[in-house]
Structure 1
Amino acid sequence: MTRYDLALIGFGGVNRALAELIAERADTLEAELGFTLRVVAITDLRAGSLVRTDGPGIDLAPLLAVEPGELDFSMLAGGSPDPRNEWVIREVPADIVAEATFTNPTDGEPALSHVRWAVEAGKHVCTTNKGPVALHGGALKELARRHGVCFEFEGTVMSGTPVLRTARRMFGGLAVNGFEGVMNGTSNYVLGRVESGLSFADAVAEAQALGYAEADPTADIEGYDVQLKVMILAGEVLGADLGRADVPCTGLSALTTDDVRRAAAEGLRWKLVGSASRRSDGTVEARVAPVALPTEHALAGVSGPVNAVAFHTDLLGTVTIAGPGAGRVETAYALLSDVIGIHERTTTPASVETLLEAGRA
C-alpha cells in the first residue's frame, strides 16, 4: 500500500480542515484510492512547528480538539515555538508539501519561497495560495518539471470545484477561445443583498458576520482576488503569461445601490466578472469589472458564494462549470484532490517516465 507523508505549511482554516478530512476519511482513502496519508510535520505562524516522523506520525485528533488560537506546538514532543518553515520544508522527509498560508498579491511571498524550497528538495507541492501561482506560475511549473515533481494548485481558482482539472482533462481537442466567470463569492453575495434592498455597507457587514468576507474585504470587493484567478486560469487554458498590469481591474466601488436596483428592474443582474479572450492575432485580452448581465446569461443566475466559469469553445460552444467557490472544507478538498492527482500521475507508468525524464533534463 502506497503511503504519502505530508508536511502542512500553515495550520489555519484550510490545512486544519485537511487534517480533519485525513483523520475522518483515512479508511475511505485507503479502500477507494489505494493510498494512505501520514502527517509528519505542521508549521504555523502562531503555534510554531511540530515534527513526528516515527510510527503513525502526528496524532491529529488532540490537535483538532484544541481551539486554533490556543495551539502551542512547543508544549508537545517534537514541537518548537518557531515555525521553522524552511527547515521543515527542506529537511523533514515528507513526500508532499501542502502550502496554505496567506495570499500576498504583490510578490507571492512567503508562499513563493515555500513552493520553491519544496520543489528544490524534490518534494511534490499542492497549494491553495493564489499569489505564487498567478505571479510566478510559469517559472514554478518549469522548476517542478526540472526536478521531476508535481506542482498542483486546483484550489486557487474555485476552491473545491475542480475547474482547472476539468479544463485540462476534458477540453482536449477543443479550442478554448476565452472564458468569463463569477469567481468571488463575497462580491457575489454582496451584490445579491444590495439587489434585495441592503446598502453596500450593510451587505458587506452581513457577509463579514456570516464568514463570507474578511475583516478587510478590499481584495474581494475591489476585484483583486478575481484578478489573480483570471491570471491563473488564462495561463492554464489560454497559455497566456499575464501580469497584474495586463488585467485591468474595476471593483464594486464603481457601482451605486441605484445602479444595482435599476438594473434589476430592467431584467439585468450585476456581477463582478473576470474574463479573458484570445484576439485574432493570438494575444489575450483580460479584465475584471462589474457587468450587467441579462437574466438568460449563463452567469446571471449564480448566487451567493457559488462560483461559475463559462468557457467559450469552438466545437461545444459555451461550457459552464459551477460549484462552491469558498469555504474551508471545500478548499481543503481541493488540496486532497491535488494529492489524489499526484498519486495518479506518479503511479501511472507513462507519468512516472515523464517525471523521470523531467528530472534528468
Structure 2
Amino acid sequence: MNRHDIALIGFGGVNRALAQIILDRGDDLATDLGFVLRVVAITDLRLGSLMQADGIDLAHVFAMTDGETFAGMSGGAAEPQNEYVIRNTTADIVVEATFTNPIDGEPGISHVRAALESGKSVTTTNKGPVALGGVELNRLAAANGVTFQYEGSVVSGTPILRFASETLTGLQINAVEGILNGTSNYVLGQMESGMTLDAAVAEAQALGYAEADPTADIEGSDVQLKVVILANEILGANLTTADVSRRGISELSATDIVEAAAQGKRYKLIGSAFRNAAGGVTAKVEPMALPLTHPLASISGPTNAVSFDTDLLGTVTVSGPGAGRVETAYALLSDIIAIDAHQRAQAEVSS
C-alpha cells in the first residue's frame, strides 16, 4: 500500500488534531483512502523539533508533560528549526499550520517555498501564504512537479475551493460572496438581540470564538485575505489585499442593527468578488443589511457560508463550520487526499 510521510510545521490546535486523527483512525483511513499516513517530523515553538524517518510515536508525543521538549528524544532538539526540518525531512508532504501574518505572510511563505523547492508537496491552513504569495508558490509547485493545496485557508473544513473547481465545473461563476468570519457573524447576531459591540465581543471571547485581540475579525482584515483567495482562485483574478476595499463592523451600533431588523433586514459582514463591466474583478469587504430572503441572511452564529452566482444554476450556496480544530484538520486531510491523487496521476503518465 502507498504511504505518505508528513511533516507537521506548527503543532498547535489544528496540526495536533490532524495527528490525533492519524493516531486514532490511521488503520480505517488506510482502508478507505488506499494509503498510509505516517508523521516523520514535527516542529513547535514550545516543544522544539523532532525528525524520525521511521515514524514518530504520536502516543508518546501526546503524553509529554508541560515543560518537556523534544530535546531528550532521538532526532529531537529544543529549538523549532522549521526551515531546516522542512528542507531535510524525509517527508513527501509538509503540513504548514503556523500563525497567519496579514502583512507579509511570513514565516509561512518561506516555509511553503522551502518545501516546494525541496520537492515536497504542501498543504496549509495559513491564509497569509495563499493570499499574499499564492501565484508565485503555485508556479513554484508546478516547476518542481509537486502540489500546493490550501482548502482550509478560507472556510476551515467546508470545501469551498474544491466545490467550486470540481463540483461546479462547466459553469461560469460570475460572482462569489460570503460570510467568511464566524466571530463577526456571532457578534452581529448578539447585537441584533440588543447587546453592544463590546459586550458581544467579550462574550465571543469567553466562548472561544474570538481571540484576545479581535481586531482582524471585527475590522475585516481576516475576511479581506479570504476574499483575495476567492477572487484569485475562483474568478481567475490576480488581486492583492490593496485591491480589496474594507470596512469592518465596528462602525455599526446595536441601534443600527435593531432598526435594520425592524425593516426585515439583517446585517452581515460580507466579503465579495464579482466580474465588473470592464472585464476585471471588483472585490470588497463591508457590513451589509441583507433582506431576509437573501441566502446568507439566515446564517447564524459562528457558521460560515459562500454563495456562487453562476450562469446556468443561478445562486448556489454552501454553508458549514468556519473554524474549529477538528474541522480545519479535516481540510488538511482533504488536501492530502488531493495530493495523493495528483501523485498517482503523475505516476500513471510516467509509466
Classify the TM-score, shorter chain.
over 0.9
Q: Is 2:175 the counterpart of 1:193?
A: no
Question: Any stretches of 5+ residues in structure 1 without a counterpart?
Answer: 357-361
Pick one of 159, 162, 165 that aligns with 1:165: 162
Distance 1:73 1:295 in 2: 53
State the Cα deviation string for residues 251-276 of structure 1 (Å, max 9, x = none): 01111111111111221110000001
Q: What SS is found at the alignment partner of 1:112?
A: helix
Question: 1:345 touches 1:352 (CA, 8 Å); kept in 2?
Answer: no
Distance 1:211 1:170 in 2: 33
Q: Which residue of 1 aligns with 2:32?
A: 32
Question: 1:90 touches 1:121 (CA, 8 Å); kept in 2?
Answer: yes
Q: How many residues align?
A: 350
1:95-174 maps to which residues of 2 (within 5 A)? 95-174=92-171
Distance 1:32 1:327 in 2: 24
Distance 2:111 2:291 in 1: 43
Using the TM superposition, give the Cα deviation of residue 77 of structure 1 relative to its aligned residue in structure 2, in angstroms: 2.6
Q: Is 2:277 the counterpart of 1:280?
A: yes
Q: What SS is found at the alignment partner of 2:277?
A: coil
Distance 1:87 1:254 in 2: 45
Q: Which residue of 2 aligns with 1:233?
A: 230
Distance 1:120 1:71 in 2: 32
Distance 2:24 2:276 in 1: 48
State the Cα deviation string for residues 214-270 of structure 1 (Å, max 9, x = none): 110100111000000000011111000111111011001111111111111221110
Distance 2:13 2:67 in 1: 14
Q: Is 2:300 the counterpart of 1:303?
A: yes
Q: What SS is found at the alignment partner of 1:94?
A: coil
Q: In terms of mean alpha carbon deviation, does 185-194 or 195-204 score higher? A: 195-204
Distance 1:53 1:28 in 2: 23
Question: Any stretches of 5+ residues in structure 2 without a counterpart?
Answer: none
Task: Calculate the aligned-residue CA RMSD, in Å.
Answer: 1.2
Q: Which residue of 1 aligns with 2:14?
A: 14
Q: What SS is found at the alignment partner of 2:231?
A: helix
Q: Which residue of 2 aligns with 1:61?
A: 59
Using the TM superposition, give the Cα deviation of residue 280 of structure 1 relative to its aligned residue in structure 2, in angstroms: 2.2
Distance 1:71 1:129 in 2: 27
Q: Is 2:176 the counterpart of 1:179?
A: yes
Using the TM superposition, give the Cα deviation of residue 190 of structure 1 relative to its aligned residue in structure 2, in angstroms: 0.5
Distance 1:89 1:62 in 2: 22
Residues 121 and 281 from structure 1, CA distance in 2 versus in 1: closer, same or farther, beyond 3 angstroms? same
Q: What SS is found at the alignment partner of 2:213?
A: coil
Using the TM superposition, give the Cα deviation of residue 72 of structure 1 relative to its aligned residue in structure 2, in angstroms: 1.5
State the Cα deviation string for residues 298-351 of structure 1 (Å, max 9, x = none): 0000011110000001111001111111011111110011001111121135x8
Letter of the structure 2 residue corresponding to residue 72 of structure 1: T
Q: TM-score, normalised by structure 1?
A: 0.95
Distance 1:200 1:114 in 2: 37
Q: What SS is found at the alignment partner of 2:43?
A: strand
Distance 1:117 1:330 in 2: 27
Q: Which residue of 2 aligns with 1:218?
A: 215
Q: Which residue of 2 aligns with 1:79?
A: 76
Q: What SS is found at the alignment partner of 1:198?
A: coil
Distance 1:165 1:237 in 2: 10
Question: 1:4 touches 1:95 (CA, 8 Å); kept in 2?
Answer: yes
Letter of the structure 2 residue corresponding to residue 34 of structure 1: G
Residues 352 and 212 from structure 1, CA distance in 2 versus in 1: closer, same or farther, beyond 3 angstroms? farther
Pick one of 76, 89, 92 that aligns with 1:92: 89
Q: Which residue of 2 aligns with 1:359?
A: none
Letter of the structure 1 residue corresponding to residue 40 of structure 2: V
Letter of the structure 2 residue corresponding to residue 10 of structure 1: G
Using the TM superposition, give the Cα deviation of residue 62 of structure 1 relative to its aligned residue in structure 2, in angstroms: 2.3
Distance 2:198 2:72 in 1: 43
Q: Is 2:262 the counterpart of 1:260?
A: no
Using the TM superposition, give the Cα deviation of residue 76 of structure 1 relative to its aligned residue in structure 2, in angstroms: 2.4
Question: 1:18 touches 1:329 (CA, 8 Å); kept in 2?
Answer: yes
Question: 1:274 touches 1:289 (CA, 8 Å); kept in 2?
Answer: yes
Distance 1:111 1:187 in 2: 25
Q: In terms of mean alpha carbon deviation, does 140-149 or 255-264 score higher? A: 255-264
State the Cα deviation string for residues 166-189 of structure 1 (Å, max 9, x = none): 100022211110111001000000
Distance 2:61 2:191 in 1: 40
Letter of the structure 1 residue corresponding to residue 24 of structure 2: E
Q: What SS is found at the alignment partner of 1:248?
A: strand
1:286-297 maps to which residues of 2 (within 5 A)? 286-297=283-294
Distance 1:190 1:66 in 2: 37
Q: What SS is found at the alignment partner of 1:312?
A: strand
